[in-house]
Chains A and B, each alone.
Chain A
Amino acid sequence: MRLPYSLILIGRERGRYLPAILAVAFCAQLNILQWGVLLGTLSVLSTPVDRSRADVWVASRDVLSIELGSPIPAVWQSRVASQPEVVQSEIYLFGFSYWHKRRGGAEVCCVVGSRLDEQALGALADLTPDMRKRLTEPGAVVVDASEMDRLGIASVGGSAEVFGHRVSVVGLLHGFKSVGSPYVFCSLRTARMILPMFQEKPHDTMYLLARCRDPKQADELVERLQQYPDMSAFKRDDFSQRTRLYWLTQTNAGIGMGCTAGLALLVGLVVTSQTLYAATAASLREYAVLRALGIARWRMGAMVLAQSFWVGLFGIALAMPVVFTLGAAANFAGARVLLPPWLFAGGNATTMVMALLSGLAALRSLRLVEPITLLR
């Protein structure tokens, strides 16, 4: 079985086709990696939601994202607890405060306060029993290890002042590096102490969390809680997605990323189509002989398109190890890059479409194929 002519030509004229293959590889890498970075960044924003055990999150009316909630009365917990599906409910504090470093300087930090027992709905699954125990002390907090420099903390045991109260770092987490303000995880008691808004409104909470007897009942519960005119309720995954989508669509992050992806595709398209055009133009006389011999023009068009397919495939194959390596390196360095299978499928499909489009654009060179040009 002989290889297709399109593949034979690419193999034997590697130098000619290499720029197109590299352009496709660059395009595929950039697309997948930058969306991976964006997904990683967005996932950090919704981490407190994703790592909770709650089936349903209850918030102020029409909250768009976890950071944009408004305080609600803590007594509304009875509205939630009285629902037939609910077996457990609790309050959850979330807000921003000033972290004053011991050596001077301040950072805005994001304070997350929850119950800490083993059955708590809001506590991060990552908190060890030892951390949970230590966090019960007033002023005890845990932070992400990669935020230590930013928070002016040298090691566990380091301290700072938040809203006039001394706080002490009793443990370090990994994988909670924030995009904006560093996360500070603590007990409800500590959170009330260091969050200004809850000092003014000591009977309020930011969220109410609920666990259903059966997680499948969450839909029904949400529907019923939504009937209260002054609060909103979401299933955990929906609230997580709502938070990520808000950041993706309502900030310039998504738009900027989309523009960069479009630019990468454009660069890939232009380089690939020009390379294929030049390769076809260099063989115009050979194609013209084939035309004189009566071979249909579509045969040559099919070969150009087949070449664009192979260029796309080789480019993607070249890009994948680089994507994995750079993704792993970025994660190792503390950034979060998410590379789910659907991102590879989508990114590679987009790149392949780009390569085939460049083949279509290169077909214009075949208009120049005329046998009469061979007669001098």
Chain B
Amino acid sequence: MASAKSTLEARHLVRSFGDGETKTTVLHDVSLDLYGGEVTLLMGPSGSGKSTLLAVMSGLMRPDSGEVVALGQRLWQMSEGEQRRFRLRHCGFIFQGFNLFPSLTPREQLEMVLRWGEGTSHRDAERRVEEALVRLSLGQRGDLTTDQLSGGEKQRVAIARALLKDPTFCFADEPTSSLDWGHGEQVIQLLQAAARERGATIFIVAHDARIVPYADRVYHLDDGRLSASGGRQPPDSCRNEESGG
């Protein structure tokens, strides 16, 4: 049983790459629910289709079939512009690597998201960015350029960028892969706090088993097929229709 109403429902997702004899199906009829206030972890070996599932569920990659319903809206029936506005309003992303402009400071990188995304005034952006930097213990490092930050600090800036808009969803693709476990654990705790304190829906794709204790639900993807494998909540929403789930 779900402890809360799902915020995102993925149904019968199929995605393949290539044509003819080279066609490879990466997702086999995958269905999955995500819940607000929870951390959902998707694990699996390299090449199992984890990142593809994240891309399809977050509106970055169109599935061959199936649908994604986020906050009651069918994501893949939206126009490109509607999808972009949905992401702008509701989604945060953390990708592998930090993907920060090397010569901008954390403060500038975060302000850019607010000012370019929401058209926030300079004063408001400055205030919200300051709050975000303090929350992530980056208050003293906000005016250094990215080049001058440690790996852990860079990833915290990337998390701050993803959570700055207070998004409904935060999609994280291997957020700890570039960090030692000490910094990685901090990152997961920050994402967990976003779920607990703000009710965000956190979806993490990773293969590091040390994250499992922090997840509310844990799923396993192997060769494009989904199975539940534990977590704090009973993974009731996991279904792989092809295998009878």
Chain B CB within 10 A, most for which of A9, A288, A293, A295 = A293
Contact yes or no, A372 B55, CB < 8 A: yes
Closest chain-B Cβ to A8's Cβ sits at a distance in Å of 7
A1-B122, A5-B112, A293-B88 given; A288·B51 CB < 8 A = no
Q: Which residues of B contact A13 (CB under 8 A)?
A: 103
Interface members, chain A 338-376 (any B CB < 8 Å): 371-372, 374-376
Closest chain-A Cβ to B178's Cβ sits at a distance in Å of 12
Q: Considering the complex, give the chain A residue whose CB is closest to the CB of B92.
A: A293
Chain B CB within 10 A, most for which of A1, A8, A12, A13 = A12
> Which of B61, B100, B108 is in CB contact (< 8 Å) with A372?
B61
B33: Cβ under 8 A from any A Cβ: no
Q: Which residues of A contact B183 (CB under 8 A)?
A: none
Closest chain-B Cβ to A209's Cβ sits at a distance in Å of 67
Q: Mark A286-324, 1 if CB is under 8 A from B, else 0.
A: 101111111110010000000000000000000000000
A83: Cβ under 8 A from any B Cβ: no
A9-B103, A371-B60, A375-B52 given; A290·B108 CB < 8 A = no
Closest chain-A Cβ to B128's Cβ sits at a distance in Å of 14
How big is chain A's contact interface, by range? 20 to 34
Contact yes or no, A375 B60, CB < 8 A: yes
Q: Which residues of A contact B145 (CB under 8 A)?
A: 12
B213: Cβ under 8 A from any A Cβ: no
- Cα distance, A305 to B33, chains bound together (Å): 43
Q: How many A-B residue pairs have CB under 8 A?
A: 87
Contact yes or no, B84 A294, CB < 8 A: yes
- Cα distance, A322 to B85, chains bound together (Å): 49
Contact yes or no, B99 A5, CB < 8 A: no
- Cα distance, A8 to B105, chains bound together (Å): 10
B97: Cβ under 8 A from any A Cβ: yes
Contact yes or no, B113 A293, CB < 8 A: yes
> Which of A1, A12, A283, A374 is in CB contact (< 8 Å) with B96?
A374
Give the interface SS of chain A, mostly helix, strand, loop or mixed: helix
Q: Which residues of B contact A285 (CB under 8 A)?
A: 97, 99
- Cα distance, A288 to B93, chains bound together (Å): 11
How big is chain B's contact interface, by range? 35 or more
Contact yes or no, A294 B99, CB < 8 A: no
> Which of B55, B85, B173 is in CB contact (< 8 Å) with A294?
B85
Q: Considering the complex, give the chain A residue whose CB is closest to the CB of B125.
A: A2
- Cα distance, A296 to B96, chains bound together (Å): 22
Q: Which residues of B contact A2 (CB under 8 A)?
A: 108, 111, 122
A5-B108, A9-B101 given; A372·B161 CB < 8 A = no
- Cα distance, A285 to B89, chains bound together (Å): 21
Closest chain-B Cβ to A365's Cβ sits at a distance in Å of 15
> Which of B85, B89, B93, B96 is in CB contact (< 8 Å) with A292?
B93
Q: Considering the complex, give the chain A residue whose CB is closest to the CB of B111.
A: A2
- Cα distance, A45 to B117, chains bound together (Å): 61
Contact yes or no, A286 B60, CB < 8 A: no
Q: Considering the complex, give the chain B residue whose CB is closest to the CB of A289.
A: B99
- Cα distance, A149 to B3, chains bound together (Å): 102
Q: Which residues of A contact B99 (CB under 8 A)?
A: 285-286, 288-289, 374
Closest chain-A Cβ to B173's Cβ sits at a distance in Å of 6
> Which of A1, A5, A12, A375 is in CB contact (< 8 Å) with B95?
A375
> Which of A12, A290, A292, A299 is in CB contact (< 8 Å) with B60?
A292
Contact yes or no, B103 A12, CB < 8 A: yes
Q: Which residues of A contact B93 (CB under 8 A)?
A: 289, 292-293, 371, 374
Contact yes or no, B87 A294, CB < 8 A: yes
Q: Which residues of B contact A8 (CB under 8 A)?
A: 103-104, 108
Q: Which residues of B contact A283 (CB under 8 A)?
A: 101
> Which of B96, B112, B113, B122 is in CB contact (< 8 Å) with A376?
B96
- Cα distance, A12 to B103, chains bound together (Å): 6
A288-B99, A299-B116 given; A9·B104 CB < 8 A = yes
Q: Which residues of B contact A374 (CB under 8 A)?
A: 93, 95-97, 99, 173
B133: Cβ under 8 A from any A Cβ: no
Closest chain-B Cβ to A159's Cβ sits at a distance in Å of 72
Interface members, chain B 53-98 (any A CB < 8 Å): 54-55, 58, 60-61, 84-89, 91-93, 95-97
Contact yes or no, B88 A294, CB < 8 A: yes
Closest chain-B Cβ to A234's Cβ sits at a distance in Å of 60
Interface members, chain B 181-216 (any A CB < 8 Å): none
Contact yes or no, A376 B51, CB < 8 A: yes
Contact yes or no, B117 A293, CB < 8 A: yes
What are some 7 contacts across the A-B interface (CB < 8 A)? A8-B103, A290-B117, A292-B93, A293-B88, A294-B91, A374-B99, A375-B52
Interface residues of A (CB under 8 A from B): 1-2, 5, 8-9, 12-13, 283, 285-286, 288-296, 299, 371-372, 374-376
